[in-house]
Chains A and B, each alone.
Chain A
Amino acid sequence: MIIPQTPLMVVLLVVLAPLFGALLCGIDRRITARAQGRIGPPILQAVYDTIKLLRKEPMLLNRVQIVYAYLHLAFMILAMLLLVFGQDSLMFLFVFAFSTLSLVLGGMCVRSPYSRIGSQREIMLMVAYEPILILLMIGFYLVNGHSFMLSAPMTAAKPMLLSLPLLFIGFLVVLAIKMQKSPFDIATSHHAHQEIVKGLTIEYSGPYLAILEIAHFYEMALLFFFIVLFWSSPAWVGIILASLSFFLMTVVDNAFARLTSMWIFKFMWTGALILAVTNVLWLYWASK
């Protein structure tokens, strides 16, 4: 599974990835509704919402907000391209992290208490999951004959999942955080909206909120593609794996209550980190 690095491909990815992400969100909402005995919104609801938001009046608190919103989107697209084209894994992570960081800063730069609380919580989450992601890349490096390029897991004969089972579990937790799913949706909650009234996105409205939504769709597509990496040959197994993981997230989301940010931090830096470190250490041991 190698994706050619052509301008056409870039255009295709930039256009299709958010649609795919939106579709994933729509399916997620539909499944949730069905699980609760409801009919649920149309599959394309996320697209309708975004188009509506784009047509609304822009409202702002200051200039800086706009800059951060665009940076969030731009870095998310760049992260996706780096991933799909199999570039350096750590640089991909840094770009991905900076994208989230722009979102956080966008939430922090306004004089709004709810927004700031949401941002603070998002930083906590970032610090909580970032080590797991870096260790995951180290895992890729060790398995793939010492190459940091993401193209290595794409072409690997043996599926990554078999070498990195514990890191995959760690990654699933990160996935729940990135998808804003319970029990990890403390920064911007999809369900009990009123808790911190949508956290760090609260002061974004209309088209600027749409930008954040679109960036989130890219993020969904990126995460989906990332799971495929765990079983890239044949790719259809990876796609099934990714679909199952997303389904699992929906189930978990509906089955769990929310945690506090400090709890998440401690959980990630103990439980999840121990899983990840164990996996990495055993790879070191195996390679010797």
Chain B
Amino acid sequence: MTDVPKFNKSPWVVHFNCNSCNGCDIEFLACLTPLYDLERFGILHVGNPKHADVLVVTGSVNHRNARVLKNVYDQIPEPKVVVAMGVCASTGGIFADGYNVLGGVDKVIPVDVFVPGCPARPEAMIDGVLKGAQILEAKHSGKTPLAEKNVLTRTPTPVATPVAQEKGAPHA
């Protein structure tokens, strides 16, 4: 420990709901309540990826939101970590076999912490964010390889090809 306050003193979280049933989201909001009080760890819930350090994702990734998730991830400044919150975000959960579902968050962006549970408990969520915050420091000091640098000219990952269309789904 040096005297410089670490990233883990103030991890700011942006929350992205991919495809969630809202179970995890409700639990995550419960973390803000006086009972759990996220803020006592210096964690702030921000609305904007550009101010965030930790991207908390709930729900599985599908073809439509993969691009959005990628964009949001790209707009978080380095160092950043991704916390996959709940079993859907981790693996796709019970939706994994859906025709439109790609799977867990790690199919699109690199994930640092998986928090299992359906829904995950608030304690587990806070723990997950704080685990992520430890990784932030490591990433900053270069101990773990940084996520690939993103530049403006980067084209979005071609995951958005609508599989549904190929299968002739009615909404296409």
Contacts and interface: CB of A to CB of B under 8 A. Distances in A.
Interface of A: 29, 33, 36-42, 45, 47-49, 51-52, 55-59, 193-194, 197-198, 201-206, 209
30 contacts: A29-B39, A33-B40, A37-B34, A38-B40, A39-B37, A39-B40, A41-B39, A41-B41, A41-B42, A42-B42, A45-B42, A47-B5, A49-B10, A49-B42, A49-B44, A51-B5, A57-B77, A57-B78, A58-B77, A194-B47, A197-B47, A198-B46, A198-B47, A202-B48, A202-B50, A202-B51, A204-B50, A205-B50, A205-B77, A209-B50
Contacts, number: 75
Nearest to A189: B47
Interface residues of B, number: 25
Interface in B1-58: 4-5, 7, 9-10, 12, 34, 37, 39-42, 44-48, 50-51, 53
Contacts of B39: 29, 33, 38, 40-41
B79 interface: yes
Contacts of B44: 49
Contacts of B107: none
- Chain A contact residues: helix, strand, loop or mixed: loop
B160 to A, nearest CB: 23
A48 B5 contact: yes
B69 to A, nearest CB: 17
A250 to B, nearest CB: 15
Nearest to A201: B51
